[in-house]
A and B are shown apart, each in its own frame.
Chain A
Amino acid sequence: MSETILKATNISKRYSKHKALDKVSIEIKRGMIYGLIGENGAGKSTFMRVIMGLITIDEGDIELFGETGMKGLQHARRKMGQSIETPALYPDLTARENLKVQAANGGVSEREIDYLLNLMNLKDTGKKKAKNFSLGMRQRLAIASTLITNPEFLILDEPTNGLDPSGIVEMREIIQRLVTERGITVLLSSHLLDELSQVATHYGILHQGKLIRELSKEELARESRQYIELETSEVEEAVVVLDQIGIRDYEVISGTDINIFERLDDVAQINKSLVLAGVNVSRIGTTRQKLEEYFLQLTGGNSRA
């Protein structure tokens, strides 16, 4: 069983009357890319800040790399890196100087600076100050800055926020490369489930400060994939027909509904087989529950995510 990097248990944080986090429990194991999804104000950034020790909690326990307690967590955080919300950079410093500052903060050598500038396509920025960088460049520099201390666990809050489509693709590739090449465990957040689904291996859905659902990539795929929706008053007969025509991947949802997950292009043929077998088909058609719709469904439909 792989090592637990983060174990947050019943984390609660209240700002006067507003509960920003309400008994949130999350466990992240080594190698995971854990995607935290939620609308704006759901508590994603608050949770990340709690983990980074930037804000205090009202109740709950945090275990990082097996360490607990104030001193233990402080020690464990040396193995972490973060980029929360906007890239935290010194605007009047160059990319190299920004990395030098963070290397000094972390008490690590400056040897990796050239490698990281190269990795993040920033080696040609020379004397250009960070304040003159594009948002994409600033995001990449912020990630380079977190990597200078060789973190084993990276926290990225909305890393694609404000990026153009090519920037989003680039950022996604960088994250995947960090996981495969450096074996880094990642906790990242987004309010776009579609976007997150392309990198994350596990998901946690936060809504109004509560973790309402945790699921793996496979579970998400199963729950949000495309299927043929069949409505009939004769479900048992319909199932027999489906078996006869070789369909195995289907699910009886209710006394009138069956979802069929294969042969999605054969709707007409399936319909014909059912009708010829005397099954009364009320409705049949391909449907796709988009990830965002799935998210809306989970959060009660009032989300803007």
Chain B
Amino acid sequence: MLNLLTAEKIKLFRSKKLWIVLAILSLLPIYQAANSRLAVHYGTKLVQTVDTVVNGASGILMMEKNGLTILLVMSAFISFFIGEEFQHGTIRNALSIGRSRTHYYLSKLVISSLLSLFGVLVMTIIGMISFSAVFGFGHVAGINYYVSFAFQSFGTLYVLILANVSIYVMISFLAKNSAISLIWSFLYTIGTGFGAGVFLQTKHFQQVTYWFTESFLFYFDFAKSTDIARFPEMVLVSLITILISSTIGILLFKKADIK
């Protein structure tokens, strides 16, 4: 496993895709801080429940503000990162010398998870700095213990992102092709993000909406006390998603024929 991770590290640092992902996640908060400054300049009043990030302190919620963007960027990265191994045939290089498929799958999952962690960390830090520079650090309305809130909200948001990363890894291993994986990942993100709410219209299946991590990521206010109270549920749903998707992904990958 460590050998595979070392190989992944070499590939990743030489990959343009890594730098593109980091560039998007780094520049986006700067652009958003500048854009918010312009909006305020022209008379718009920033409201936290609507704008999510309104100062340095609320910058900890950059993941909530940019949930969809992060998911789309990560899904594209993972689709290419894994799909190209199948398309270039390089996946054979590791598997044909006796490397376990489970380890190979997990190495890709670990690298994707670490990259997404690093990416959202960079985004959050730059977001907090940028918004602090423009609007001051300030505070998050209704939050008395900021440090504890910051760790809890960041951790929960990251786990919600991670659950989707795990799904994208599974889709990429099943699709075995960058383009197909990209399409399915996009459909999954949009479908569960905007389609899961359909269950809320039903009498008996309302809870199903909250089986999908996007429901929390897109529609919850992470600075609202009633939603903060549901952090454990969000973590649980995310962990179950990671467990189920990884199990399905590994089992099917182990049975898959590699061309």
Q: Tell me whether A76 is interfacial, beta carbon within 8 Å.
A: yes
B204 interface residue per 8 A CB criterion:
no
Q: How far is the CA of A151 from the CA of B96 in the complex (A)?
A: 11
Contacts of A155 on B, CB cut-off 8 Å? 96
Whether a CB of chain A sits under 8 angstroms from the CB of B4 is yes
Complex: A123 Cα to B216 Cα, angstroms: 54
Contact A101 B11 (CB under 8 A): yes
Q: A74 and B255 in contact (CB under 8 A), knowing A82-B92, A84-B92, A145-B93?
A: no
Assess the A54–B96 pair: CB atoms within 8 A.
yes
Interface size (A, Cβ < 8 Å)?
37
Contact across chains for A54 and B258 when beta carbons are under 8 A apart: yes
For chain A, residues 132 to 174, give those with C-beta under 8 angstroms from any C-beta of chain B. 145, 149, 151, 155
A-B pair number, CB within 8 angstroms? 88
A101 touches B257 (CB 8 A): no
CA separation between A155 and B4, bound complex, in Å?
22
Q: Which of these, B3, B100, B258, contacts A104 with CB under 8 Å?
A: B3
Whole-angstrom CA separation of A104 from B107 in the bound complex: 13
Chain A residues contacting B155 (CB-CB under 8 Å) are none
Q: Mark B75-111, 1 if CB is under 8 A from A, else 0.
A: 0000000000000111111111111100000000000
Q: Are B10 and A88 in contact, with the CB atoms below 8 A?
A: no
Assuming A88-B88, A88-B89, A92-B14, is B97 touching A106 (CB within 8 A)? yes
Q: Is the CB of A80 within 8 A of B90?
A: no
Residue B15 is within 8 A (CB to CB) of chain A in the complex = yes
B200 at the interface (CB under 8 A from A): no
Is A55's CB within 8 Å of the partner chain B?
yes
Interface of A with B (CB < 8 Å)? 49, 52-56, 73-78, 80-82, 84-93, 97, 100-102, 104-107, 145, 149, 151, 155
- Interface set of B (CB-CB < 8 Å, partner A): 3-4, 6-7, 10-11, 14-16, 88-100, 255, 257-259
In the A-B complex, the 10 residue pairs with the closest CB atoms: A77-B98, A88-B89, A104-B7, A107-B3, A55-B257, A52-B96, A54-B258, A104-B6, A78-B98, A105-B94
Q: In the complex, given contacts A53-B98, A92-B14, A92-B16, what are 19 additional A-B residue pairs having Cβ atoms less than 8 angstroms apart? A: A49-B258, A52-B95, A53-B96, A54-B96, A54-B257, A55-B257, A75-B98, A77-B97, A77-B98, A78-B97, A80-B96, A80-B97, A84-B89, A90-B14, A101-B10, A101-B11, A104-B7, A105-B99, A106-B97
